Amino acid sequence: MGTALPRGLEWGGDGAGGAQPLQEPYSRGRREPCIWGAPKALGGNRVGGGFPVLLEEAHVPLFLRGEEPPALPEHPGAELVGLPRMDPADPMRPIGHHMMPAPSLPRGGPRLGLKTGSRSRRAGAMGVRMGVLGWLVASALCAAVQGRDQGLSRPLPHFGSIYHVRGVINLPYAEIEEPFEAWYNLTGNKSRIQYYGGQVITYQLAGVKPYGMQYKITPETTEKEVNARKCFQLPGSKEDVVRIQSVFPSLEGFKFLREEYYQGRYCAVWQNVTLWAQKKNVYTLWVTNSSCGVAPVHYEMRGYNSLLGSHYDKYEISYTDFDNSFPSSVFDIPVNETKKCGLLPGSTAEHRVLANPMEDLVGRQQPRAHEVFHHYRRRFGRRYGSARELEHRQHVFVHNMRFVHSKNRAALSYTLALNHLADRTPQELAALRGRRRSGAPNHGLPFPSQLYADLHLPESLDWRLYGAVTPVKDQAVCGSCWSFATTGAMEGALFLKTGVLTPLSQQVLIDCSWGFGNQACDGGEEWRAYEWVMKHGGIASTESYGPYLGQNGYCHCNQSELVAPLAGYVNVEPGSATALKAALVKHGPVAVNIDASHKSFAFYANGVYEEPRCGNETSELDHAVLAVGYGVLHGKSYWLIKNSWSTYWGNDGYILMAMKDNNCGVATAASFPVLA
């Protein structure tokens, strides 16, 4: 290239000459290039040697405005070191460098910079040539790059009044990663956010008279149709006007914190710290430069509660594909869908969260989720002993609510709902799963598969329809699921023998079978309960022994009338769906064990439950339940399972569990009693 070295610059290394303009297009059409450099061989070995930067007044603002310089063709990976920092007492005397990392370039490459030290006089002379004003402008702009370290403020990032962006919501406490895509038009008073690739779409139309309108389009599966697109609407009111929804937080109160590399991109970090009651919330936003100006990279909220002494909340949003244009048609709602719009399900307090879930994450006001919590407390009569426990339960509820709503937006083969367990911690939920995994072999009889080879298996079976199943009960805060599975199987066997449905006592097994390895509310196994019944010649009915306590009690079986003596019990062939079907058809309800450790199980509502993370090995089974039938729903084969978590749980206390691949281990460890 024939361009001369700009006036006022010279090489900082030991070599001389050979200067070349490295990136002429970056000068935005000006004749002078903004960045100059020379082959590495011409510079010294020291960092910054031989790579000057043009500091002319007209060009400095172009670089510091936040633009990313393109990759340098002569030296890929080059990095700008900085501009001279001037002595405040003597603007003509350089005393160091303002560091100015190049956002788009990796560390470790050649570096561009201006020499100081032994060349300070030349730098000073350069300042004279540029003029005092030029140096002051350069120094001030460099100080702005350093931000608060220089005591100067930056303008808050602005993402524009119209934008489109994709991203992922990460809720670590709720075990959720949810992709979304958003369109925002401030001037048009419209926004649209869709989740899981458009499976669920929400619209916020603030311009609809009189108070705005929200729409939600979602797939819905019932007994009659599968994944039918349904529309729900929620009109605003005078007290609750609909507003458009951004996927970025309001930046009011944010302050510039620092610059750093984040996920391989050079970012400015902004942060807001708020204190509310005993809560300290820290909101952090990472932004970088793009062809559109400033672009979002990542947003994080961390909440600390001094009353609880722990972190009560955390969520993150990662952003990609940000731009400032899109067709206006993205806000068009299909006419045939809006004509069929119904009201949103759930409580009134829950409606706003369902219609606009993003509001709970990027808004810094008291979340609407807390309103849902207060409705939950009234519905289930929840009362807590202290302000500390109230805070704790509210935080647990919010995480569970986010999990439930996010899973439902994923359009799975089943749906979840907030039930009476919604304020329970994972540890408390684990206490309900009382199957002890001792690994000890039992003395059950092998399943006689050959006897059932010619057995006709109906397409579906439901023993409830024949009167062989007692009503769903609630084991309460007690790991006694094994006792309910045992009595359920025995009640069915006794019904098939006598034609009379007799409720049997779980409490007698809790109180009296310790000698066989069961540990009451701390867990047990149904085969150990069978062994106790075999030795004692039967089991007490609920009527003769007394009500279920949900707690360990004193054994008084000698004072009770025993029924249903056992000759033995049979272990169904492990992993065989055919064998389990045959056992159900011939012997009635069967005690089974499952992996119920996943949060999706705790909040199951309806549909065929299929959890890909479920285990089906014997060592992974942690909950005992009762299989009372099987069938097919929308092409998915299922087991009909009775749980013991009350009728508030599941579908009136029942769940349909997928047969596919022995999901959750329903067929792994099943057994049924044989009456004497």
In tens, the pLDDT along 46-94 reads 233 333 333 333 333 333 333 344 443 343 443 333 444 444 454 444 4
Q: Which residues, other chains included, contact 145 with Cβ-Cβ below 8 Å and sequence gap of 6+?
A: 64, 98, 99, 100, 259
The stretches of 260-384 forming alpha helices (DSSP H) are: 335-338, 348-355, 359-362, 368-380
Measured distance CA(351)–CA(234) in Å, rounded: 8
> What are 661-674's pLDDT values in tens digits?
999 999 999 999 99
Catalytic residue among 231, 267, 481, 512: 481
Phi, psi of 629 (to 5 degrees): 170, -170
Cα 500 to Cα 469, 483, 484, 672, 674, distances in angstroms = 11, 21, 19, 18, 17
Measured distance CA(193)–CA(174) in Å, rounded: 21
DSSP state of 254: -
Which pLDDT does position 63 carry in this prediction? 32
Measured distance CA(652)–CA(645) in Å, rounded: 10
Residue 420 has pLDDT above 50, yes or no: yes
Catalytic residue among 643, 662, 663, 664: 643
The answer to whether 101 and 64 are in contact (CB under 8 A) is no
Residue 646 has pLDDT above 80, yes or no: yes
Span 257-283, average pLDDT: 89
Residue 397 has pLDDT above 90, yes or no: yes
**Across-strand partners of 569?**
673
Catalytic residue among 185, 272, 623, 664: 623
Phi, psi of 328 (to 5 degrees): -65, -15
Which pLDDT does position 123 carry in this prediction? 40
Cα 518 to Cα 99, 478, 480, 560, distances in angstroms = 69, 13, 10, 21
Residue 138 has pLDDT above 90, yes or no: no
- Of the chain, the end-to-end C-alpha distance in Å amounts to 102
Which pLDDT does position 465 carry in this prediction? 97
Residue 601 has pLDDT above 60, yes or no: yes
Annotated active-site residue 231? The verdict is no
**Across-strand partners of 435?**
524
Instruction: Identify which of 605, 599, 652, 666 has the alpha carbon closest to the alpha carbon of residue 428.
Output: 599
Measured distance CA(640)–CA(468) in Å, rounded: 14
Span 345-352, average pLDDT: 70
Span 619-637, average pLDDT: 96
| 194: enclosing H helix or E strand | strand 190-195
Please, what's the b/e burial string for 38-75 (b: 16 or more CB within 10 A of its CB; e: otherwise)?
A: bebebbeeeebbbbbbbbbeebbeebbebbbbeebebb
**Across-strand partners of 315?**
301
> What are 568-587's pLDDT values in tens digits?
999 999 999 999 999 999 99
Cα 599 to Cα 54, 370, 604, distances in angstroms = 60, 21, 9
Which pLDDT does position 142 carry in this prediction? 43
Instruction: Identify which of 611, 616, 617, 664 has the alpha carbon closest to the alpha carbon of residue 641.
Output: 664
Instruction: Identify which of 39, 37, 36, 46 has the alpha carbon closest to the alpha carbon of residue 14.
Output: 46
Measured distance CA(192)–CA(201) in Å, rounded: 7
Q: Which residues, other chains included, contact 126 with Cβ-Cβ below 8 Å and sequence gap of 6+?
A: 8, 9, 55, 114
Annotated active-site residue 442? The verdict is no
CB neighbours of residue 302 within 10 Å: 15
Which pLDDT does position 121 carry in this prediction? 38
Q: Helix (H, G, I), strand (E, B), or coil: what is residue 240?
A: coil
Question: Cα angle at 674 between 671 and 675, to 5 degrees?
Answer: 145
**Across-strand partners of 259?**
268
> What are 451-496's pLDDT values in tens digits?
888 899 999 999 999 999 999 999 998 999 999 999 999 999 999 9
The answer to whether 585 and 458 are in contact (CB under 8 A) is yes
| 207: enclosing H helix or E strand | none
Measured distance CA(477)–CA(258) in Å, rounded: 49
Please, what's the b/e burial string for 236-245 (b: 16 or more CB within 10 A of its CB; e: otherwise)?
A: beeeeebebb
Tokens at 400, concatenated:
């569970």
Domains of the chain, earliest start first:
20-150 (no CATH), 155-411 (2.50.20.10), 431-438+445-675 (3.90.70.10)
Task: Please say whether the dihedral angle defined by the alpha carbons of residues 579, 581, 583 and 589, taken in this order, is positive or negative.
Answer: positive
Measured distance CA(662)–CA(575) in Å, rounded: 7
- pLDDT grade for 344, boundaries at 50, 70 and 90: confident
Which pLDDT does position 309 carry in this prediction? 55
Q: Pick left, alpha or beta for residue 604 (phi over 0 → left; psi -120 to 50 → alpha; otherwise beta).
A: beta
Contacts 24+ apart (CB under 8 A), 286-293: 286/262, 287/157, 288/103, 289/66, 289/67, 289/68, 289/103, 290/68, 290/322, 292/160, 292/322, 292/323, 292/324, 293/66, 293/158, 293/160
The verdict on pTM exceeding 0.75 is no
**Across-strand partners of 609?**
657
Task: Please say whether the dihedral angle defined by the alpha carbons of residues 571, 573, 575 and 577, taken in this order, is positive or negative.
Answer: negative
Tokens at 184, concatenated:
């925002």
> Cis peptide leading into 61, omega within 30 of 0?
no
Q: Helix (H, G, I), strand (E, B), or coil: what is residue 668?
A: coil
CB neighbours of residue 531 within 10 Å: 22
Diameter over CA atoms, the chain:
110
- pLDDT grade for 391, boundaries at 50, 70 and 90: confident
Cα 430 to Cα 436, 523, 549, 596, 599, distances in angstroms = 12, 11, 19, 9, 10
Q: Pick left, alpha or beta for residue 434 (phi over 0 → left; psi -120 to 50 → alpha; otherwise beta).
A: alpha
Residue 315 has pLDDT above 60, yes or no: yes
CA 375 to chain centre: 23
Annotated active-site residue 481? The verdict is yes
